[in-house]
Amino acid sequence: MQKVIRQHSRDALACRVDYVDSSGRAGIGMATNVSYTGMYLTYVPRLRIGDLLHMVFFLPTGKPCRLRARVVRTDRTGVGLCFTEKLPALFTVCQHLN
């Protein structure tokens, strides 16, 4: 088994994420965890490593959070994403979870 070394710890998160991929296809995934640098989504068919996603999800406060991320890992249950930008909204997400 390969050991995963993360730059930032992940926090549990359960929320719907709407996205549009680099081919213009819309989809829905469920976020299961998030960090300052990435997120894991489940239930995301057709995504491949390298795909760019434009995503939106809602913070516990109800405020929408819009981010872009690239698919960096795939497995049988979902995809690992790396955010392509460091936005203040991302820090807000992680602060709400702690």
Picking from 92, 83, 1, 7, the residue whose alpha carbon sits closest to that of residue 40 is 83
Is the model more confident about 32 or about 87? 32
Q: Is the backbone of residue 24 left (phi > 0), alpha (psi -120 to 50) or beta?
A: left
Parse the chain into domains and list their residue ranges.
Answer: 11-97
pTM confidence score? 0.78
CATH of domain 11-97: 2.40.10.220
Q: pLDDT tens digit string along 64-83? A: 888 899 999 999 999 999 99
- pLDDT value, residue 1: 43
- pLDDT value, residue 89: 55
- pLDDT value, residue 49: 94
Q: pLDDT tens digit string along 5-44? A: 545 556 667 889 999 998 899 999 999 988 888 889 998 7
Pairs from 50-53 (Cβ < 8 Å, separation ≥ 24): 51/21, 51/22, 51/23, 52/21, 52/22, 52/84, 53/19, 53/20, 53/21, 53/22, 53/81
- pLDDT value, residue 31: 92
